[in-house]
Structure 1
Amino acid sequence: MELELVPRFLLAILVIVVVARIFGMLARKVGQPPVIGEILGGILLGPTLFSGVVTDAVFPTDVRPSLATIASIGVCVFMFLVGLHFDHRLLQGQSRIATTVSLSSIALPFGLGALLALYLFTNHPTDNKLAFILFMGTAMSITAFPVLARILTDKGLIDTPIGGLALACAAVDDVLAWSLLAVVTALADGGGDPWRVLLVVPFAALMLRVVRPLLARLAARHAANGAWAGVGVLAAVAVGLYLSASATEWMGLHAIFGAFLFGVVMPREGAVALRERALPWIEKTSAWLLLPVFFVVAGIKVDLSALNGTALGELALIMLVAVGGKCVGAFASARVNGVRPRHSTVLALLINTRGLTELIVLTVGLQLGMLDRGLYSLMVVMALVTTAMAGLLLPFVYPPERVRRDAAEPDAAALYARER
């Protein structure tokens, strides 16, 4: 970046942080997760309002590449944190129902999304029709695990049996959805060597079987003498994150897959300093700076100012497929497994949450050429609406007094209408 652009760049960063904080607080005041307000703030800073005058004034074209670089770093750090917080212990005792519900809540929206893609392809053609169809199916199948966890905490559901089941389902959903996106990315990226994609499987095995034990031993050794802390921890995490993200990028996938995988292989035991000292700083930097920049960079690409009848019709179909596919798939599968109707409805509303994870997927789709600006804008609206639905509808389905009672005396058997 040229020296004369630094003041304009710093002004852009300041505006982004302030807008994100204000809209995040407003969202929290109306019972929504802050990410709703932050994404909305990013959209309002884009060309949707005032024909892009605000966008051009605050974010001139010569500073946008630097913002895009920070946004990319922010996404990778976020995916690292998602992987770091992924806990396979969520599946203990309920792996069968979590897997069944997750498969149903992915298969139905994926199939409906693929069918919808056949219709949308006429107005939004791409160079790779198959990749477009698979991408739309994948985008409809997403559940936002981190936002879901935040909603469960805010609503007091995190310690209830249905909250635990929802987290388990979302955990399985995350793994399946990222795997689907990896396949789509490999199909859509025609610029690299196809054989490199095949290296993903041995790379994942290497990370899980070799790198993870090495990190655990390294963490335990340094924790014993007090050196595994502070700057050293941050440096080690940064290097590992960079190398893993670069590896998957070289293989023809997106860097986010390497970032997520590195988070998964980070040690749980023996890394107290990482979680107590380094992790809070990483999370604060991500929440206060990196992700808000990502929201604005994504929002600049959303333009809802020229919505017409055709676009509104497409949006209605997108909402029908997204909400219907997720909710019906999760509800029906939960009922087949004996979950009571009320809890099945709660589970369906929670699994329908898409949030930031969907925005990341849509950004990848835009970068790969799977989405044009118009369809991207409609899909972002879908992500916002489906995320807001949980906060709006949960109190009617699962009243606060019922939540408090279930949290005080959790009984997993109360979820089921019959013996499992």
Structure 2
Amino acid sequence: MTARQVVVLFLDLAVVLVLARGLGALARRLDQPAVIGEILAGILLGPTLFHGAVTRAVFPPDVRPLLSGLADVGVALFMFLVGLDLDLGALRGRARATITVSVGSMVVPFGLGFLLATSLAGQHAPGHRLGFSLFLGTAMAVTAFPVLARILDDRRMTRTPVGRLALAGAAVCDVLAWSCLALVVTLVGGTGQASWRVVLLAPFAAVLFGLGRPILKKLLGRPGDSARTQLAVVLAGLLVCAAVSEWMTLHFIFGAFLFGLALPRNDGLRRQVTDRVEPVSSVLLLPLYFLVAGLNVDLTRVGTAELTELGWILLVAVGGKLLGTFAAARMHRVGAREAGTLAVLMNTRGLTELVILTVGLDLGVLDQTLYTMMVVMAVVTTVATGPLLRVLYPRRHFLPDVAEPVR
């Protein structure tokens, strides 16, 4: 690195930090998740304004790979925390309802997205049409577990029956979505000489959970070790798993996610790791990821034809998610108001959608125009969650914490 690159890199990080925090705080004042403001910060710093003049001046091409490297570390930490936060034990007592709601909220938008892809493929799919259709179906079916958890916590809905069902359903949706994305990556990305390595995923996961988890439990449970030593063990394991996943021709996010799932379910350890890792990730590295993602969002590419396509994308994403979730919830005799609330919650996409879309762009499954429209869809669906919740589920309808969960 030259001295100029170092100077520009540090200044760019400062710009990202200040703008993301400012717009994130503004989003919260507007009763929106902070992630909305941070995503908009990335879009504003991208090529949409002034034909990319700001982007070229503030983020010169020779510095962007350095920013991308740091952003990749940020999204690896994020995926690790997603895996760490997923508590499939929450399925106890409500497994049937959770699985039905999860499958319903995935299958309907996935199927509609797959069908929509057949009409968009000629314009936007440069090569692998099956991979494109599977990817678009997956992107339509995503629910952002971390953003959903934050919305429920902010509105004090975490302990309500509908909040518990939404969290459990979103956890299962996350697992299904990442599994679908892994299939797409295998179909589209595994075409080189090293594509055979993908068959090692199942043995790798088996070793990680069968052998790695007991070893981690022993290493992290030694009474003489400091919190910093334990954190070093966790971060080293995370980075190794991410590297192995990338080596297997899968995206590194899968290794980070699996390591988070494999970490021993110890509340004290989980809280300690989250308290130390999450601030660095959420304050600096994830906003940097939004910046890198925003450099590929160019709203000037959206013309009349693209607006029509955006309308179909929103109709499929929103309609499919709402219809699938509502119908599945009603099958388990969930009240109409609660079923509608659950459908709105499961329609939240946020950062998880952005990660998936960026993977699709990196793979060449999406072109920049469709990527831009899908990012707009992710922002719109997340922004709509708060206002719709206020209408469907005001505080006077909250049920007591001791209420029985839906089964």
TM-score relative to the length of structure 1: 0.94
- 1:229 matched residue in structure 2: 227
Please point out which of 390, 396, 399 is paired with 2:394.
399
Within 2, Cα distance between the matches of 1:83 and 1:344? 27
Percent identity of paired positions between Structure 1 and Structure 2: 52
- RMSD over aligned CA atoms reads 1.3
For residues 267-309 of structure 1, give each alpha carbon's deviation from its aligned partner in whole angstroms, at most 9, with x where no partner exists.
123x83x445443121100011110100000011100023211
How many pairs align?
406
Within 2, Cα distance between the matches of 1:148 and 1:277? 22
Within 1, Cα distance between the matches of 2:393 and 2:273? 37
Which one is further off, 2-11 or 334-343? Answer: 2-11
- 2:404 matched residue in structure 1: 412
Within 1, Cα distance between the matches of 2:241 and 2:193? 18
After TM superposition, the structure 1 = structure 2 runs for residues 1-400 of structure 1, keeping only pairs within 5 Å, are 1-189=1-189, 190-220=191-221, 222=222, 224-225=223-224, 227-230=225-228, 232-269=229-266, 272=268, 274-400=269-395
Contact 2:47 2:297 survives alignment (8 Å): yes
Aligned-pair CA distance for 1:410: 3.6
Note the residue ranges of structure 2 that are not aligned, 5 or more in a row: none
Cα 1:397/1:240, change in 2 over 3 Å: same
Aligned-pair CA distance for 1:409: 4.5
Within 1, Cα distance between the matches of 2:30 and 2:214? 45
For residues 31-88 of structure 1, give each alpha carbon's deviation from its aligned partner in whole angstroms, at most 9, with x where no partner exists.
1110011001110111111111111111111110000101111111100011111112
Contact 1:28 1:34 survives alignment (8 Å): yes
Cα 1:192/1:241, change in 2 over 3 Å: farther
Secondary structure in 2 aligned to 1:338?
A: coil
Contact 1:349 1:394 survives alignment (8 Å): yes
Contact 2:301 2:369 survives alignment (8 Å): no
Amino acid at match of 2:252: A
Contact 1:192 1:252 survives alignment (8 Å): no
Amino acid at match of 1:411: A
Amino acid at match of 1:229: A
Within 2, Cα distance between the matches of 1:211 and 1:13? 36
For residues 349-395 of structure 1, give each alpha carbon's deviation from its aligned partner in whole angstroms, at most 9, with x where no partner exists.
00010000000000000000000110000000000011111111101
Within 2, Cα distance between the matches of 1:372 and 1:410? 49
Amino acid at match of 2:38: E
Within 1, Cα distance between the matches of 2:94 and 2:272? 33
Amino acid at match of 1:193: A
Amino acid at match of 1:84: L
Amino acid at match of 2:310: L
Amino acid at match of 1:236: V
Which one is further off, 287-296 or 118-127? Answer: 118-127
For residues 175-208 of structure 1, give each alpha carbon's deviation from its aligned partner in whole angstroms, at most 9, with x where no partner exists.
0110000000000111243332111111111111
Contact 2:131 2:365 survives alignment (8 Å): yes
Within 2, Cα distance between the matches of 1:155 and 1:314? 34
Within 1, Cα distance between the matches of 2:122 and 2:402? 51
Within 2, Cα distance between the matches of 1:86 and 1:228? 26
Amino acid at match of 1:141: A
Amino acid at match of 1:314: E
Within 1, Cα distance between the matches of 2:2 and 2:78? 28
